[in-house]
Amino acid sequence: MTELIRDVDSLRAKLALARERGRRVGVVPTMGALHRGHLALLEEARKRAQVVVVTVFVNPTQFGPNEDFSKYPRTLEKDLEACRAAGADYVFSPEATTEIYPPGDETRVRVPETGKHLEGAFRPHHFEGVATVCLKLFQIVGPAVAVFGRKDYQQLQLITRMVRDLFLPIEIVGHPTIREEDGLALSSRNAYLSPEERARARAIPAGLGAAVRAYDAGERRVSSLIAAAREPIAAAATSIDYVAIADPATVAPYPDDAVIDRAVLAVAVRVGTTRLIDNVVLGEGATV
């Protein structure tokens, strides 16, 4: 039976008791509006731990002043139903102003260079908020295995680096992106898309797939791989923030004249007013 917990002390007490009984803890950090992608993370956590916590917290510090914090979908009752069906032990859904950011809270995590490229360049304070809330959640949960989706590839690299640098007793696991039948990556923000925009969004995986095919055919020039990805995306997107090929560890973009081996191809585009991100790692035998 899945139990909803709203306060830090109660969750800590439950997990301390589980550890006393020799049970490993798994945690899946989310902002709610759960879909099949999130549930795949939960299933992965269940394979690696005996007690699984799903956090449902729309984190205010990772949203910029003109972003979608106020309208981000909040569907706690449906999320609870999904977690019960998938076998989560606890859903931790704290109040922001009393539990996670109480009055007087000022400490924030300074992000490394990994957080200053791509998303960091377009959302300057985003990763500071992500790193800070993840560190808080890890401190609340304690030693655990944490499962993140690779759709948020840069976030995964940033959190992995933070855990290593700060010697946190957390094992970070990256789970492959879960996609719809037409290739679009599952995202809570897909709910914002109209039917016409949803059809146009198919250009995102189409562009990634075009670059993968070019890479598999032997193309290694960054400029040519970006051009292959960008052509279908540009034809359908309202605007493009970036189509970039970057170092898979640091997420630093390679120059257009570089020749690469293994690399991450990452995109951020708007379809209508909805901003969507996606990626694929070239050199891993990826398919889109």
Q: Rounded distance, CA 16 to CA 95, Å? A: 22
Q: Rounded distance, CA 209 to CA 264, Å? A: 13
Q: Which of 230, 223, 190 is nearest to 208 (CA)?
A: 230
**How many CB atoms sit inside 10 A of residue 272's CB?**
15
CA distances from 219 to 2, 155, 173, 214, 274 (A): 49, 28, 30, 5, 32
Residue positions annotated with a catalytic role: 38
Strand partners, 259: 221
Under DSSP, is residue 145 helix (H, G, I), strand (E, B) or coil? Answer: strand
Q: Rounded distance, CA 54 to CA 80, Å? A: 10
* Sequence-ordered alpha helix ranges (H) in the chain: 8-20, 36-48, 76-86, 119-122, 126-141, 153-165, 195-201, 203-216, 222-236
Asked if residue 68 lies in contact with residue 135, where contact means CB atoms within 8 angstroms, the answer is no
Asked if residue 154 lies in contact with residue 33, where contact means CB atoms within 8 angstroms, the answer is no
| The residue type at 62 | Q
